[in-house]
Amino acid sequence: MPTTAIIIGAGPAGCAVAIALADRGHRASLIGAAGVRRTWAGETLPPGAGDLVTSLFGDQVLDDAVHNPAYGVRAAWGSDDLTTTDFIAHPDGDGWHLDRAAFDARLAQTAAARGVEVITDHVRTVTRDGDQWEVAASDRSLRGEWVVDATGRGGGPFRSLAGAKHVYDQQVALVALAQRGRSALAMTTIETVPDGWWYSTPLPDGRVVMALVTDSDLAPQGDARAPWWHTRLRASRHISRLGEFPSATPPTVHAAGTGHRDRLWGEGWALAGDAAISWDPLSSQGLVTAILMGSRLGAAIGRCSTGDSDALPEWERDYFMLRDEHLGLRSYYWSTEERWIGHAFWDRRRGVSPS
């Protein structure tokens, strides 16, 4: 018997859940506020991820008139010198530099074309009524057997049901957009510095993202933040050459930590994307995993409607296995940067207590 699901959050994770349900004959409603973005510009799909995206959403999602190919990554990690990983020799080909707003809009359009009810609105309340959920939006109410929270890192209506949030760091990204400099290439550039690490990614519109990832307590608050950020940008060896930073917008602050909830699902509810597990941006794993595990979540909810009691436990177990692999790789990459001894950001990642 078809199940009815309401997915709150119309980003990639939410769209993946909704489409997976609709493709299996279930009724799915996708609700999200217009213009709400829970991430910052500069998203890159690594090699191979484009195949996953098109297999789930169709070839029209990655339009090369909107998004640009990504040809590699350059990193000054553990050394002052840039080391280039060129995608030309990668068996999965190039990656993609995304226009994230256009990407999200195309996913929602694809969901609607596949039979998902797409609603642009704000959610007011989510309440349980017997074996049904009622989701009240600004001008209507929806009822369903399942509600999926795909609202991002902050979490939504199931914070209490999902238990404690385990947080592994207090990272934030201080992000600004600048005009692309003469040295900018169609590659992501990463550079470690005493206070954290920089990355820069070209955008399809000709601008460039310049972001400093640091711990929230290491960056000044208020009016002192922008001068601090610009001073550290000018001190960087490589990132400062990639954008015309005098014209950069003031940096905005975005949560960039790694964490997860105790539980990712329960009776009639589940978490998707960053609401379930948030990833270190160094891994470029967040978007791909949100789409993959969102699609698997939709399939698992569909299996539950046929009495398959193992579907969601298997999905959650696999999700936590990905988390464990991520944490292991994260620790390894942090350990390879042996400079900046005595600097709080790096000492914390070495397990060194402040003196």
**Annotated domain spans of the chain:** 4-43+100-165+261-328, 57-97+170-256
Q: What predicted TM-score, i.e. pTM, was given to this entire model?
A: 0.93
Q: Is the pLDDT of residue 349 over 60?
A: yes
Give 92-108 as a DSSP string: T--EEE--HHHHHHHHH
Asked whether 19 and 111 are in contact (CB, 8 A), the reply is yes
* Residue scoring higher pLDDT (64 or 355): 64
pLDDT at res. 183: 62
pLDDT at res. 160: 83
One-letter amino acid at 190 equals I
Query: Which of 17-26, 110-119, 201-210, 270-279 has the least mean pLDDT?
Result: 201-210
pLDDT at res. 242: 87
Which residues, 6 or more positions from 239, have their beta carbon under 8 angstroms from its beta carbon?
189, 191, 198, 199, 200, 210, 233
Tens digits of per-residue pLDDT, 92-140?
Answer: 778 998 999 999 999 999 999 999 999 999 999 999 988 999 999 988 8
Which residues, 6 or more positions from 154, have their beta carbon under 8 angstroms from its beta carbon?
38, 255
Res. 337 pLDDT band, cuts 50 70 90: very high
Hey, what are 216's tokens?
């929230």
Q: Is the pLDDT of residue 300 over 80?
A: yes
pLDDT at res. 28: 97
pLDDT at res. 154: 76
Tens digits of per-residue pLDDT, 143-160?
Answer: 999 999 999 887 788 888
Hey, what are 99's tokens?
């226009």
pLDDT at res. 254: 94
**Overall CATH class of domain 4-43+100-165+261-328:** alpha beta
CA distance 296 to 108: 18
For 57-97+170-256, CATH number?
Answer: 3.30.9.100
